[in-house]
Structure 1
Amino acid sequence: MTASNARRIQWVFIMTLAYAAVQVVGGWLSGSLALIADAGHMLSDAAALLLALVAYRIAARAPDKQRTYGFHRVRVLAALANGASLLLLVAWIAWEAVQRFREPTEVLAGPMLGVAVVGLIINLAGAWVLMRGHQGDGNLRGALLHVVGDLLGSIGAIAAAIGILYTGWTVLDPILSVLVSVLVVRSAWSLVSDSLLILLQAVPRGLDVEGVQADIAGLPEIAEVGHFHAWTLTDDRVVATVHVTPAPGTDPLALPARVARQLREKHAIAHATVQVDPPGELQGPHAR
């Protein structure tokens, strides 16, 4: 699955980098902020996609004595960097738009429209390629958000070019640039916040800690349960630790496998470390 996602990102990286060069020239010749902003967006995305590809290669390395969990978090760091770069790009576009409001500049709508249409086609193709990948991968999701942002940028540039052709209002160029940026902010912030939660080892979204403990406590082999902790190792792998006490007559050596299977099958926790404690060792709301 990871290798397939990496190949998809590689193809989109090549398309993005090639079109970014076209947009830089087209934006400079036409004087369009919408195209220049989108060109900067594309160049930023090309760098982000390259970072994602590097992250896949590093994450595939085997664990070692210093990093016993392996290098999976590199993918999370790449997703965080992608989201942060989008937020910085939005800030830059907003700043440039303010300058254009103060000092309007001439925009050649014809060349601007042509370049924007080509960009729309390329971004649609890139989004289609990435949407066919595994969306549980935060690295791929970050790449897709960048491409969607580029897609919105192309739509904004087309709308601005058509508006300028028919009305001559060059102010449409910075206005639509800002509107596109606003649309990108929400997705970028979601990517950043999700990555930060993983790095802070927060409880995975949708996992009810008290509900999981109650479920374990309901097993007939369990007398007590406590000290349950769960976190996300990478975007699609949840791990947990928990302490349990065996019910009378239960083989303590059978409990780790039993509890781990329950967590895996009912709560999608891929790996669980289960510690068996003597009776009376645990105190909590689920002690029986």
Structure 2
Amino acid sequence: MSSCCAKTEFTGLSASYKRILWFIIAINAVMFGVEMLAGISAQSQALQADALDFLGDTLSYGISLWAIGKALTVRSSAALIKGISLLLMAIWVVGSTLYRIWVLNQPDAFTMGWVAIAAFSANMLSVLLLMRYRNGDANVRSVWLCSRNDAIGNLVVLLAASGVWYTDTPWPDLLTALIMATLFLSSSWQIIRQALAEKRAAAAQLAESGS
């Protein structure tokens, strides 16, 4: 989810980028509803964790769209909010998964599988659309990182579905939820670190211009 301030980076000021972002927001909103309903129905912690990620992305991409064209401090603050939201999601996933360990229910492997394939297809479309913008500022880069990690997470959920089917136990599902929490933490760290670096750069520029 490279040094962020060493050179001029893409900040999202592009009509085509904004159209892509609106399209991806719609995809994530739809997939959140589909995956959360399927996760609850299939009693799959991994699907619910992935659905929560879709919801987080829908909200964070909306923030990204709003922040485009704003001052660097505003854009870096928006990225910081997204990084913190990923951290909170990771904490929720870990906590709910640990709770489920004591209330083991067998998830529906078939539902897990087809929903994971649908989610992977949606996220890969987002990844391909965002590929050329992956090295932008913290606000733009956070969108790329979230979409990339979502596609990885979908593959992990698909593997978990195979594991649940093969072992006839819920453990692959629970382990997958914890792996996804790790992905959230990794992206959160990268986004927060880049956003803070951009904030420091903006403050230094302001101090320099005022001296």
CA distance in 2, matches of 1:197, 1:274: 20
Aligned residue in 2 for 1:167: 167
- What is the percentage of aligned positions where both structures have the same residue? 26
Tell whether 2:58 aligns with 1:46.
yes
Q: Is the 8 A contact 1:34 1:153 kept in 2?
A: no
Identify if the C-alpha distance between structure 1 residues 143 and 78 changes in structure 2 by more than 3 Å, giving closer, same or farther. same
Partner of 2:33: 21
Who is 1:195 aligned against? 195
Amino acid corresponding to residue 34 of structure 2 in structure 1: V
C-alpha displacement at 1:117, in angstroms? 0.6
Q: CA deviation at 1:179?
A: 1.4
Contact 1:157-1:176 within 8 A present in 2 as well: yes
- Name the structure with the higher strand share: 1
CA distance in 1, matches of 2:74, 2:207: 23
Residue 146 of structure 1 is matched in structure 2 by: 146
Instruction: Give the number of the structure whose residues are more often helix, by fraction.
Output: 2
Superposed CA offset, 1:238-276 (max 9, x none): 94877xxxxxxxxxxxxxxxxxxxxxxxxxxxxxx598x
1:160 Cα deviation after fit:
0.9
What is the CA–CA distance in structure 1 between the aligned matches of 2:191 and 2:179, rounded to whole Å? 20
Greater RCO structure (CA 8 Å; 6+ sep)? 2
Pairwise CA distance, 1:5: 3.0
Structure 1 runs not aligned, ≥5 long: 60-70, 202-230, 243-272, 276-288
CA gap of 1:134–1:239, structure 2 versus 1, over 3 A, is farther
| SS of corresponding position for 2:129 | helix
Greater alpha carbon shift after TM alignment, 32-41 vs 99-108 = 99-108
TM-score, normalised relative to structure 2: 0.86
**Between Structure 1 and Structure 2, whose CA radius of gyration is higher?**
1
Conserved? CA contact 2:72–2:202, under 8 Å: no
Aligned-partner Cα distance in 1 for 2:52–2:95:
13
Match of 1:126 in 2: 126
Tell me the distance in 2 between the aligned counterparts of 1:48 and 1:147. 11
- 1:82 and 2:77 matched: no
Query: 1:23-62: CA deviations, max 9, x gaps?
Result: 01111111100001110111111011111111126x1xxx
CA distance in 1, matches of 2:147, 2:191: 14
User: Structure 1: how far apart are the matches of 2:135 and 2:181?
Assistant: 23
Contact kept? 1:145, 1:188, Cα under 8 Å: no
